[in-house]
Amino acid sequence: RTIIVSTALSRACDSGANDKGAEIEPSTCPLRIVTIENGKVLTIKSDTGCYTDHADPDLPAKNRNDSSYTRYDPAAGTISFRTTIGGHDVPSCARVYSLK
């Protein structure tokens, strides 16, 4: 079985506040989970997920390790997502999807 997880930074993303007083926050972008078995697509789940742009050298030092994480738990049959900004988890980005 193969599981493909993708989050795309695109015009469909909600990138949050855009003014000089705004804090850094993740973008909410299209998310897709595809399960493939024996060469055939079994399921496609589409939703939204968080995206962080941690590759920007102009970010403040505290945000250079911002990241989004994906975890597969084969025993539970789930995919979990979480995002950290400035060293803290972003609760609105925490999601768990069942693959069963």
Query: What is the per-residue pLDDT across 39-95, written as a single tens digit (0 to 9) for each?
Result: 999 989 999 999 887 667 777 888 888 889 999 999 999 999 999 998 899 999 999
Confidence of residue 2 (pLDDT cuts 50, 70, 90): very high
- Which pLDDT does position 55 carry in this prediction? 67
Q: Check whether 26 has a pLDDT greater than 70.
A: yes
Q: Residue 48 CA to chain centroid, in angstroms?
A: 8
**Angular region, 87: left φ>0, alpha ψ -120 to 50, beta rest:** left
| Residues of the domain holding 46 | 2-98
Q: b/e map of 76-93 (b: 16 or more CB within 10 Å)?
A: eeebebbbbbbeeebeeb
Q: Check whether 21 has a pLDDT greater than 80.
A: no
Domain count along the chain: 1
